[in-house]
C-alpha cells in the first residue's frame, strides 16, 4: 500500500525548515495533493502540535497516505479532494507540494480559489516546486523536466511565479515570501489578506 517518492527524502528537511517559520503554532494544516503521504507523515512528527489533514484525488494515493500516517494521532484520515474544484475545508494553513507543474492550470486556479475561501486572514498558502520567474534564467534541469512533463500531458509545465501571484491576488492572497530551495525549486508563501 505504501508508495515511495525518492525526492521526498531529499526535500523534506529543507521544506520543514521553511514550514517552521511560516506555519502557526497550533491549528489544522490542509495538505492538497498529498501524493504518497510521506511528506505529511514526516511533517506530523516534526510539528506535533499541528493537526494535519492530507488529501488527494487518487484512490491509490489515498491508500498510501493512510498507510504512511497509520498510528500518527495528529494526522486525520485522508480526504478525496480534487484541487480544481476549489472546495476545501477550513484550515489555519494550506500546503501544496509538487502539484502546480504536474496538473492543468485549472488545478492551480482551483487551489488558489479554495485557499482564498478556506483560510482566515493571515493564513498561509505554501507552495513548493519548480517555477519560472521573469528575468531569472531557468536551470537546464528544469527545462528538460518541463519537456518531459509536456510529453506526458501538454497541459502540464512550469508556471511563472508572476502568473500564479496574479491569479492568487484575485482570491485575496498576496505573495509574502519566495524562498530559493535545493534542486532549483522554490517555496512560495501566500497570505490571506
CA-to-CA distance for 175 and 18, rounded, in angstroms?
15
Of residues 101, 93, 55, 97, the one with CA closest to residue 77: 55
pLDDT digits (tens, 9 = 90+) for 137-167: 999 999 999 999 999 999 999 999 999 999 9
- Look at residue 8 and tell me whether its pLDDT is greater than 90: no
What is the grid cell recorded at 4?
515511495
Total residues found in the chain within this entry: 193
* 1-7 average pLDDT score: 89
Predicted TM-score of the model (pTM): 0.97
pLDDT at 165: 98
pLDDT digits (tens, 9 = 90+) for 69-119: 999 999 999 999 999 999 999 999 999 999 999 999 999 999 999 999 999
pLDDT at 84: 97
- Look at residue 9 and tell me whether its pLDDT is greater than 90: no
CA-to-CA distance for 125 and 119, rounded, in angstroms?
8
pLDDT at 56: 98
- Look at residue 1 and tell me whether its pLDDT is greater than 90: no
pLDDT digits (tens, 9 = 90+) for 10-47: 899 999 999 999 999 999 999 999 999 999 999 999 99
HSE (CB half, 13 Å, CA atoms) of 30? 25
CA-to-CA distance for 189 and 136, rounded, in angstroms?
19
Domains by residue range for the chain, with CATH = 6-192 (3.40.50.150)
CA-to-CA distance for 15 and 152, rounded, in angstroms?
27
- Look at residue 6 and tell me whether its pLDDT is greater than 90: no
Amino acid at each position: 500500500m505504501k508508495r515511495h517518492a525518492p525526492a521526498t527524502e531529499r526535500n523534506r528537511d529543507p521544506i520543514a525548515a521553511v514550514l517552521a517559520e511560516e506555519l502557526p503554532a497550533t491549528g489544522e494544516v490542509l495538505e492538497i495533493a498529498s501524493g504518497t503521504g510521506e511528506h505529511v507523515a514526516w511533517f506530523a512528527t516534526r510539528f506535533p502540535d499541528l493537526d494535519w489533514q492530507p488529501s488527494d484525488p487518487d484512490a491509490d494515493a489515498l491508500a498510501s497516505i493512510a498507510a504512511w500516517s497509520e498510528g500518527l494521532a495528529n494526522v486525520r484520515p485522508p480526504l478525496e479532494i480534487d484541487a480544481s474544484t476549489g472546495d476545501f475545508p477550513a484550515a489555519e494553513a494550506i500546503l501544496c507540494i509538487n502539484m502546480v507543474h504536474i496538473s492543468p492550470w485549472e488545478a492551480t486556479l482551483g487551489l488558489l480559489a479554495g485557499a482564498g475561501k478556506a483560510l482566515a486572514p493571515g493564513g498561509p498558502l505554501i507552495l513548493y516546486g519548480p517555477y519560472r520567474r521573469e528575468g531569472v534564467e531557468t536551470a537546464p534541469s528544469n527545462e528538460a523536466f518541463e519537456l518531459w512533463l509536456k510529453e506526458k500531458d501538454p497541459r502540464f509545465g512550469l508556471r511563472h511565479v508572476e502568473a500564479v501571484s496574479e491569479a492568487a491576488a484575485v482570491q485575496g492572497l498576496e505573495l509574502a515570501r519566495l524562498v530559493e530551495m535545493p534542486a532549483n525549486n522554490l517555496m512560495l508563501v501566500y497570505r490571506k489578506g
